[in-house]
Amino acid sequence: MRKIWNVAIYARVSTDKKEQQESIPAQVQSLRKWLLDKSKSDSDVIYNLVETYEDAGFSGSNFDRESFIKMKEDIEKGKINMVLTRDLSRFSRNYVTAGYYLEDYFKVNRVRFISVLDNVDTDQEYNDIIPFKNILNEMYIRDCSRRVRDALKQRMIRGSSIASKPPYGYMFEEYYEGNVKTIKLIPSKDEATDVVKEIYSLYIKGWGFGKIATYLNKKGIEPPSARVKNFGRAKFGIWTNNSIHYILTNPKYAGMMVQQRWKKISYKVKKIVTTDEQDWIYGCDFEGIVTKEMFEEVQSLMKKRAKNHRYKGGVIHPFSTVIKCNECGGSVSYRKKFEGYKCTNSQMGGGRCTSHSVKEEFLKRTIIKDLKNYVNKYVNKEDEYNTARKIYNEQDDYEKELKNIEKDLKKLDMQFQQVYEDKLNEVINERNTDILITGIQKKQQILVERKDEVISIIAKISDKDSIYNAYRDKIDRILNFEEFERMTVETLIDKIIVSENKVTKEKKVEIFYKFRA
């Protein structure tokens, strides 16, 4: 009886720009051809293409994708038992989640997964290169995120606002130093500015957040949420304790450009958290709505009126949760004084277990030796270098943008010429001519400014070889395991078992990898 594979083709690009969207049909076409060739060469198998799932504008670290979710629903309904994708990076750049789907989810749902360019086929023996591919895919997206953060940090350091909208009571003012644009804040000098001053005055007089919010609501004053979306988590179009607290604790109201007071947990997690004061970035001072003295007085009063709470995050050591005791089955946890790991139950007294222990440095040396041997035997470094070059080229679309800007400018020049000719031929009157010309000039100005920015960016990244060499060095460091960290352990190691001979007291460490070492 012929085996039937009900196939889902999955394709993804990271942005919804036209240039990248056009790569989805290319992915799908190549996968359809692969299915056709496979059907011709294997007469014992039927490949039935059920559906094509396409996601545009989704990062590889984000699995909250519309088509991906739909594909999962169809898998769980039993409509699909094979997923086909071009390469692992199209499927995911999140090494943890990718491992979950390949090692758990697909197996539980009896789904065959094939990545054509990576030669991965879970119907055959599990491909040993997958963990390394997942690490490299993770590295690419993490490096891209780091580049974006560095660019934002430089803007913050020079005092340029990185916010999408100005704080309540302020407006943006832009100025240029050469091709470098800086966005500064200036008081809007309207009702909002006066409200900010009154909020500070009332708090100094002894009013609390709630009383100030109630007072402003009774006066019918619009809250920040009416002007700035999601400002201070304001709800229902009214002033709240949170919106008052935000204004009273934001140094910008005293003319201090302080940024990075909040940040995303990571490039994988969208959740925003507050940062420690030592991580704030201070730019240049500007005209504040209140004085620095008034701001400092408010901060001092807040400390007197409320208790401070500090959260101390714990350090997760590389082998925590991975290493287990063979005798009692309990966890083996890190001990700072020992500089290694000891059986947790042995530390609790009562003879629950013996003191199984292993030094962290010994584990690192042993594992790195095993991994280096594996890399030398199985990993083709040239393939990984070429992958780095391809991914960099996918990210770099500034030259295309510059060409599009120049095309748009030429179109506007033609429109300008047409308006001028229509005026001479008395097709349109003077008033309409002025309106049309003003509109064209505004569009031209926006495009010219963006063109200057893009030219500046291209100048900075024009040396592609140096960037490629940086990626190459990064890959070498990873494959030489010079950057041994928690991510490496989670991706490549299933578990570590520590045993001890009760008679000889001889210790034994067994390392179980997620690939065949």
**Where does 43-133 show beta strands of DSSP type E?**
45-56, 82-85, 112-115, 120-121
CB 280: neighbour CB atoms within 10 A?
14
3-class SS letters over 182-223: EEEEEECCCHHHHHHHHHHHHHHCCCCHHHHHHHHHHCCCCC
Q: Could you tell me the pLDDT band of residue 513, with boundaries at 50, 70 and 90? A: confident
Predicted pLDDT of residue 120:
81
Residue 164 is classified by DSSP as S
Tens of pLDDT, residues 223-251: 887 765 444 444 447 888 888 998 998 88
Give CA–CA dist 142/266, Å, rounded: 9
- The set of residues, in sequence order, having a beta carbon less than 8 Å from that of 2 and lying 6+ positions away, is 44, 45, 46
Task: Give burial (CB, 10 Å; 0-12/13-18/19+) of 130.
Answer: buried
Top-ranked range on mean pLDDT: pick from 8-17, 308-317, 456-465, 506-515: 506-515
Predicted pLDDT of residue 73:
93
Is 311's pLDDT higher than 50? no
φ, ψ for residue 428, nearest 5 deg:
-125, 155
Tens of pLDDT, residues 154-178: 666 666 766 668 889 888 888 777 6
Q: Could you tell me the pLDDT band of residue 207, with boundaries at 50, 70 and 90? A: confident
The answer to whether the beta carbons of residues 257 and 159 sit under 8 Å apart is yes
Closest CA to 186 of 287, 268, 264: 287
Give CA–CA dist 31/87, Å, rounded: 11
Spell out the alpha helix ranges (H) of 342-463: 360-378, 381-395, 398-424, 430-461
Predicted pLDDT of residue 516:
66
Predicted pLDDT of residue 83:
94
Predicted pLDDT of residue 432:
79
- Measure Cα distances from 234 to 225, 231, 349, 379 in Å: 6, 6, 53, 53
23-27, 109-113, 360-364, 477-481: range with lowest mean pLDDT: 477-481
Q: Could you tell me the pLDDT band of residue 469, with boundaries at 50, 70 and 90? A: low
DSSP strand pairing (507-513 vs 357-359): unpaired
Predicted pLDDT of residue 71:
93
Closest CA to 84 of 139, 160, 8, 15: 8
Tens of pLDDT, residues 19-28: 444 578 888 8
Whole-number percent of the chain with pLDDT over 70: 72
Question: Which domains occur in the chain, in start order?
Answer: 3-143 (3.40.50.1390), 158-305 (3.90.1750.20), 315-517 (no CATH)
Compute, in degrees rounded to 10, the torsion defined by CA atoms 284, 290, 292, 295. -120
Who wins on pLDDT, 179 or 299? 299
Predicted pLDDT of residue 450:
82
Is 375's pLDDT higher than 80? yes
Structure tokens at 92: 């995911």
Please give the average per-residue pLDDT across 252-271, as a whole number: 65
Q: Can you spell out the DSSP letters for 10-33?
A: EEEES--SHHHHTHHHHHHHHHHH
φ, ψ for residue 469, nearest 5 deg:
-65, -35
Residue 468's identity, in one-letter code, is Y
Residue 117 is classified by DSSP as T
Tens of pLDDT, residues 380-438: 877 777 766 665 554 456 677 788 888 888 888 888 788 777 777 777 787 777 788 88
Is 186's pLDDT higher than 90? no
Tens of pLDDT, residues 19-56: 444 578 888 888 998 898 888 888 788 899 999 999 88
Q: How far is CA 188 from the centre of its chain?
A: 34
Strands of 507-513's sheet in order across: 323-325, 493-500, 507-513
Please give the average per-residue pLDDT across 318-340, as a whole number: 85
**264-272 contact pairs (CB < 8 A, 24+):** 267/59, 267/61, 267/141, 267/142, 267/145, 268/61, 268/62, 268/94
Give the chain's count of helices (H) and strands (E).
17, 17
